[in-house]
Amino acid sequence: MPNAPAYPRTRLRRIRRTAWLRRLVAEKTVSVDDLIWPVFVINGENRREAVPSMPGVDRLSIDLLAAEVVEARDLGIPAIALFPYTDEALKTPNAEEAYNPDNMVCRAVRAIKAAVPEIGVICDVALDPFNSDGHDGLVRDGQILNDESVEILVKQAVVQADAGCDVIAPSDMMDGRVGAIRDGLDVAGHQDVAVLSYAAKYASGFYGPFRDAVGSSGALKGDKKTYQMNPANSEEALREVALDIAEGADMVMVKPGLPYLDVVRLVKQEFGLPTFVYNVSGEYAMLRGAGDAGWLDYDKVLIETLQAFKRAGADAILTYAAKDAARLLTAA
Ligand code: PBG
């Protein structure tokens, strides 16, 4: 930092005096180009179900979803991330539905790619929507198995890529899954399908509304602390990210977002590769809930939150408020 002369020669308010100057000196700005919209898919036709803990968010059947994705594209949103609400009858201890080439996620990918080929489609890789135990990996005698789970995650990634998914996003936090998925995709001829690794994913209470949305909260036995990270740690986050990069991740993610801005900053500074942040369900619920109650100005705190992610160093942001934000950012 150069030595600025002291007040009264330096008056920082000078550069804040007018809107046009504030725009010119803005350091980090958020735009619609930074947004990824996570969506929840349900079976059936013409079905829309509200998620009570996420006001304004609906689970949609594939036909309605395709129409909403057209809207997202028209708003300029570059990509969506798909999450399935799986019927209980399809959940098994070995999560076979995860790699059924005709499962709901694969059908949704095909429908969306047919309807809106120019929007990016990101698929989550983890077993929790398909596993009767609600865990991201296979469970045996109360233990979450690592290597056995990775084998299934690879099969899941390959059927998603076969369906036309552009980006595979493993959110399971098993060790070694990024390298295994990269190899599996390459062997299947999917060299151009990218891997966005949920590299630093914390065992967080902020996922509660998401688990309601995908219907896994009832199934989940225990917690995810043996695979998701301890909120106390940030150096370990750098080790997680370093390993995922070494295994071939194209992009990495930090999750949740707001309580982990320091981790976003560290990861971006240390590695410099595309760093995404997940503004998770509980963060959305806080802002939206307080907004609905009249306690906060939702539009203002939403844009301020997204700006905070950019300031911390995030390149892109997964947010349930992507459409609201896109409208606000393009109206401004
Ligand atoms: C699970 C998964 C979770 C989220 C995305 N993928 C929840 C969890 O780990 O229990 C959370 C997203 C959110 O809260 O918005 N594979």
Summarize pLDDT for 298-328 with one digit per residue, the tens: 999 999 999 999 999 999 999 999 999 999 9
Which segments of the chain have a pLDDT < 50? Answer: none
- Residue owning the nearest CA to atom 10 of ligand 1: 207
Q: What is the pLDDT of residue 332?
A: 58
Ordered by start, the domain boundaries in the chain are: 28-331
Q: Are 281 and 287 in contact (CB under 8 A)?
A: no
Q: In sequence order, what are the residues at sequence separation of 6 or more whose Cβ sits closer than 8 angstroms to the Cβ of residue 166?
A: 79, 120, 121, 122, 193, 194
Q: Are 232 and 204 in contact (CB under 8 A)?
A: no
Task: Give CA–CA dist 83/76, Å, rounded.
Answer: 21
Q: Is 268 a catalytic residue?
A: no
- Residue owning the nearest CA to atom 14 of ligand 1: 207
Task: Give CA–CA dist 114/317, Å, rounded.
Answer: 25
- Residue owning the nearest CA to atom 7 of ligand 1: 207
User: By C-alpha distance, which of 239, 322, 250 is closest to 279?
Assistant: 322
Report helix angle 235-246 to 177-187, nearest 10. Answer: 20
Task: Give CA–CA dist 101/263, Å, rounded.
Answer: 36
Q: What is the pLDDT of residue 183?
A: 98
Task: Report the CATH fold assignment for 28-331.
Answer: TIM Barrel (3.20.20)
CA of 122 to the centre of ligand 1 (A): 14
Q: Is 310 a catalytic residue?
A: no
Q: Are 153 and 127 in contact (CB under 8 A)?
A: yes
Q: Are 153 and 103 in contact (CB under 8 A)?
A: no
Peptide bond into 256 cis (omega under 30): yes
Q: What is the pLDDT of residue 217?
A: 77
* Six token digits for residue 153: 């995650």
Question: What pLDDT, in 10s, does the model give residues 165-220?
Answer: 999 999 999 999 999 999 999 999 999 999 999 999 999 999 999 999 998 877 78
Q: What is the pLDDT of residue 112?
A: 98
Q: What is the identity of the amino acid at 190?
A: H
Ligand 1 pocket residue status of 210, Cβ below 6 Å? yes
CA of 210 to the centre of ligand 1 (A): 6
Out of 210, 260, 288, give the residue to mutate to test ligand 1, the one with the largest number of ligand atoms within 8 Å of its CB. 210
Residue 5 DSSP one-character state: P
Ligand 1 pocket residue status of 126, Cβ below 6 Å? yes
Distances (CA, A) of 269 to 94, 243, 265, 266, 275: 39, 16, 6, 5, 10
Task: Give CA–CA dist 154/142, Å, rounded.
Answer: 23
Ligand 1 pocket residue status of 171, Cβ below 6 Å? yes
Q: Are 82 and 124 in contact (CB under 8 A)?
A: yes
Query: What H or E segment, with its residue span, contains residue 300?
Result: helix 298-312
Exactly one of 201, 224, 268, 310 is catalytic; name it.
201
Ligand 1 pocket residue status of 211, Cβ below 6 Å? yes
Q: Are 305 and 297 in contact (CB under 8 A)?
A: no
